[in-house]
């Protein structure tokens, strides 16, 4: 059962667009037309979450109709507030909530993108949420025969009343479950380390069929890190984005099996092809260039796998120079280290990550139905 104070907060914070006392100003008793149209976002984000898991790619054109819808609904809400029967206090609350959502959360998303915390699609999704949901929607299920405390959704709202912040809080809480589940899986298999929350083991030969970041950890287990410097070494991870790996292999016209079969041959920059391929985007679906024979004849015959010193091992610098260095933040050293690891190891650890849009979708579903999870948790411990 919901506490009386929480239920009251839900009613008080979500009635910004209710103008006639107890009856919403709607064409249908269920909700206002803008709030009904906002329900379209749920199946759309469900599709985007599925696509993000499968391909880690969201087409740019996806955001244009959603952005247009967000602007139309924002203007529509504003027109209803300022031309209807809303009190002056409701009008000020509407402006305050819109200002917080748009002027705080949109720059925040952009800042996370600049710092590398968000990808481009994640940033656009975050900004879109800020525009679409500055205030709480209000859905009256009593209009379809549902009575009682569940007759109005969302059930729980914050006193601030900014719905986009509720979605963000839910997204963070839902996303936090992923590293916990990953740590549990690793603990069962005996991998106990700070890395257990972010990494999972895979077959090195299958690395090009996975999305994520290749990680390398310092030797030792968590219990061996008894000093700040030892603990810090666990987090000194050298990273190679597997998208960048696919770009490199496609650029060379190679597959990973060839690299693993004869690393010495391809470690020599003289083995680079005279005509390189387009690297593509690094998507698994785009990695379709057939391997080419790039054997190089030297005085000793075909190159062997014996380690040698080269100015540009693996041609990593040549690759990045040729594509203007834009391979998901990869440096020549990161690419070389990753290739060496994949050539030498049978099992490697990757951080599969979790596309931000996936927990955002579940955060949306929870926000539309239950409301604000964080507000409830803080209320349970007497903070909110």
What would the DSSP string read from start to end of 341-372?
HHHH-SEEEEE----THHHHHHHHHHHHHTB-
pLDDT confidence of residue 351: 84
Residue 231 falls within a domain, yes or no? no
233 occurs within a structural domain: no
Based on the fold, state whether residues 116 and 264 are members of the same structural domain.
no
Q: Using a cut of 0.85, tell me whether the model's pTM lies above it.
A: no
Domain assignment of residue 184, yes or no: no
- How is residue 243 written in tokens? 């998208």
Q: For residue 14, what pLDDT is reported?
A: 40
pLDDT of residue 28: 60
* pLDDT at residue 233, as a whole number: 45
Angle formed at CA 291 by CA 287 and CA 297, multiple of 5 degrees: 145
Other C-beta atoms closer than 10 Å to the C-beta of 148 total 8
pLDDT-flagged residues of the chain (< 50): 1-27, 220-227, 229-235, 289-305
**How far does Cα 310 stand from its chain's mean position?**
38
Question: Would you put residue 225 in left (φ > 0), alpha (ψ -120 to 50) or beta?
Answer: beta
286/158 same-domain check = no
Query: Domain check: are 330 and 367 in the same one?
Result: no
Q: Are residues 367 and 293 in the same domain?
A: no
How confident is the model over 237-251, as pLDDT tens digits?
557 899 999 999 999
Residues 155 and 286 in one domain: no
CA distance 211 to 263: 23
- Does residue 258 share a domain with residue 167? no
> HSE on the CB side for 128, CA within 13 Å?
24
| Other CB atoms within 10 A of residue 66 CB | 20
pLDDT at 124: 93
Q: Are residues 66 and 171 in the same domain?
A: yes
In this prediction, residue 53 carries a pLDDT of: 85
- pLDDT of 290: 47
28 and 157 belong to one structural domain: yes
Show the domain range for 289.
240-351
- Position 210 in a domain: no
Residue 218 lies in a domain: no
| Distance in angstroms (rounded) separating the CA atoms of residues 222 and 219 | 10
278 shares a domain with 363 = no
Are 173 and 321 found together in one domain? no
pLDDT of residue 287: 61
DSSP state of 40: T
Residue 112 lies in a domain: yes
297-314: b (≥16 Cβ within 10 Å) or e = eeeeeebeeeeeeeebbb
Say if residue 14 is in the same domain as residue 149. Answer: yes
Contacts of 42 by beta carbon, 8 Å cutoff, 6+ apart: 361, 364, 365, 368
- Say yes or no: 106 and 140 in one domain: yes
Q: Could you tell me if residue 326 is inside a domain?
A: yes
Cα(304)–Cα(116) distance, integer angstroms: 39
Q: Is residue 173 part of a domain?
A: yes
Q: State how many domains the chain has.
A: 2
């Amino acid at each position: 059962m919901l506490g009386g104070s929480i239920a009251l907060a839900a009613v008080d914070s979500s009635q910004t667009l209710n103008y006639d006392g107890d009856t919403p100003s709607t064409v249908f008793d269920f909700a206002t037309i803008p709030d009904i149209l906002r329900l379209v976002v749920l199946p759309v984000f469900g599709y985007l979450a599925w696509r993000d898991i499968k391909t880690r790619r969201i087409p740019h054109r996806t955001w244009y109709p959603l952005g247009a819808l967000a602007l139309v609904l924002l203007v529509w809400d504003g027109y209803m507030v300022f031309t209807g029967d809303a009190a002056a206090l409701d009008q000020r609350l509407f402006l305050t909530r819109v200002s917080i959502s748009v002027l705080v959360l949109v720059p925040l998303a952009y800042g996370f993108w600049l710092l590398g915390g968000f990808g481009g699609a994640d940033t656009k999704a975050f900004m879109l949420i800020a525009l679409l949901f500055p205030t709480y929607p209000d859905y009256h299920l009593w209009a379809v025969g549902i009575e009682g405390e569940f007759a109005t959704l969302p059930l729980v709202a914050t006193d601030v009343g900014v719905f986009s912040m509720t979605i963000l809080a839910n997204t963070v809480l839902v996303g936090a479950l992923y590293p916990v589940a990953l740590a549990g899986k690793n603990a069962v298999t005996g991998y106990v380390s700070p890395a257990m929350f972010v990494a999972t083991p895979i077959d090195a030969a299958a690395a090009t069929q996975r999305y994520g970041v290749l990680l390398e950890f310092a030797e030792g287990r968590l219990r061996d890190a008894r000093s700040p410097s030892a603990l810090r070494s666990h987090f000194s991870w050298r990273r190679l984005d597997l998208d960048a790996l696919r770009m490199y292999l496609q650029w060379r016209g190679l597959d990973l099996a060839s690299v693993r079969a004869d690393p010495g041959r391809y470690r020599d920059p003289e083995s680079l092809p005279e005509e390189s391929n387009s690297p593509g985007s690094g998507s698994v679906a785009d990695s379709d260039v057939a391997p080419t024979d790039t054997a190089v004849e030297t005085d000793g015959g075909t190159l062997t796998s014996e380690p040698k010193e080269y100015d540009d091992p693996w041609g990593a610098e040549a690759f990045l120079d040729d594509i203007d260095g834009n391979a998901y933040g990869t440096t020549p050293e990161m690419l070389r280290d990753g290739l060496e690891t994949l050539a030498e190891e049978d099992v490697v650890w990757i951080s599969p990550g979790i596309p931000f849009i996936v927990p955002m979708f579940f955060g949306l579903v929870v926000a539309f139905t239950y409301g604000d999870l964080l507000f409830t948790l803080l209320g349970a411990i007497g903070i909110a």
